[in-house]
Amino acid sequence: MAGVRVLTGTFGIPPCMLGWRRLFPGFNRFVVVIRVSLFANATFIRYVAMSCVLALSGCATLVDRAAANLGRQLSAGILDHDDPATVAAGLPAYLLLLDGLNHDGAANAARLCLAADLYGAYAGSFVDDPERAKRLSSRALDYASRAACATNRGWCELPKAKFDEVAARVTDVTAQQVEVLYCLGGAWAGFIQAHADDWNAIAAIPKVRHIIELAVQRVPDFRDGQGQLYLGVMNSLLPPAYGGKPELAQRYFEQALVRSKGHNQMVRVLYARQYARLVFDQALHDRLIDEALAADPKVPGWTLMNTLAQRQALLLKANSKEYFE
């Protein structure tokens, strides 16, 4: 759309990037990002093979348990991995695995959200081709929408509903259902990010923002400030003249820093890229980037995220002068 400057980048997830706590204790989405192992576990394969000789319902239950157990065993190693290329190379196999697990049988919200998180993380962090990123983020949103429908029949096809209808249908969300709202909000935000050239996708920002705001109200400490990080990005995607709210975005970024105890350097990178560049605050931008680069990336549970963040910080630092001058 002529005259509209949409600030794009990876949701931390991202993203954000790395959010699987719904199955993996201690896990962190935007942000955003990866919660599975790089190599198949022989014990897991034997376990699944044995389970499939049982009745269909029993097989599905055992597969779900095996997948959850595998994730819990391997999540810490993935989060503490310092080589994103190795992680990126291993993820596609698990995308296909989750496709298979979700293909038939009764809908399982946790398993569907696992697929939504993984597809969103992969698209947002490791895919450079815009068209491919659009396809994968669309698949992530589809999985998240199915998870929402499996959790509450009133949440079916929320992405197709108008704002007032979305607000009315999610208003009574319980604390136990908040994880699925985060799943839907994160996948939807990633979809918008990948489709930033589509005004229809951009127009859905108020709906996504409302869903994540509601989730943050119910459980403000969820995922160490991931909800606040999402809201910081969501409110700084557009200039004020087109609906952006930079002052509100800054408050959310500051809250995300506090709730993550400063350990998540992606917060600083997104704060700099989405907010500081939007309002042309070079002093804030350069301070945040320098802080992210000076931090030790090897923090338990944050190493992979911080490694990705510092790579992005180097790029922002390299063109800071050109951007602001």
The upper half-sphere exposure of residue 24, i.e. CA atoms within 13 Å in the direction of its Cβ, equals 28
| Cβ neighbours of 116 (radius 10 Å) | 32
- Residue 43 confidence (pLDDT) above 50: no
The pLDDT score that the predictor gives to residue 69 is 59
The pLDDT score that the predictor gives to residue 98 is 86
The pLDDT score that the predictor gives to residue 81 is 86
The pLDDT score that the predictor gives to residue 2 is 42
The pLDDT score that the predictor gives to residue 118 is 87
Indicate the range of 8-22, 170-184, 271-285 predicted with least confidence.
8-22
Q: Are 194 and 123 in contact (CB under 8 A)?
A: yes
- Could you read off the pLDDT of 116-126 as tens digits, one per residue? 988 998 899 89
Domains of the chain: 42-324 (1.25.40.920)
Confidence of residue 10 (pLDDT cuts 50, 70, 90): very low
- Most confident among 91-95, 109-113, 267-271 (mean pLDDT): 267-271
What is the SS3 string spanning 194-208?
HCCCCHHHHCCHHHH
Return the percent helix, strand and coil in the chain, to nearest 5: 65, 0, 35
How far is residue 207 from each of residues 187, 189, 243, measured CA to CA in Å?
13, 10, 13
pTM of the model as a whole? 0.78
Q: Output 72 or 276, whichever has higher pLDDT.
A: 276
Which residue has 């946790």 as its token pair?
A: 110
Confidence of residue 14 (pLDDT cuts 50, 70, 90): very low
- Could you read off the pLDDT of 56-106 as tens digits, one per residue? 344 555 556 665 555 455 556 777 889 999 989 988 988 898 899 898 778
Report the percentage of the chain scoring pLDDT > 90. 61
- Could you read off the pLDDT of 143-193 as tens digits, one per residue? 999 999 999 999 999 999 999 999 999 999 998 899 999 999 999 999 999
The pLDDT score that the predictor gives to residue 44 is 41
Average pLDDT of the chain to the nearest whole number? 82
The pLDDT score that the predictor gives to residue 73 is 55
Q: Are 166 and 158 in contact (CB under 8 A)?
A: yes
Q: Output 4 or 148, whichever has higher pLDDT.
A: 148
The pLDDT score that the predictor gives to residue 62 is 59
Q: Are 294 and 317 in contact (CB under 8 A)?
A: no
Q: Output 69 or 322, whichever has higher pLDDT.
A: 322
Q: Output 111 or 286, whichever has higher pLDDT.
A: 286
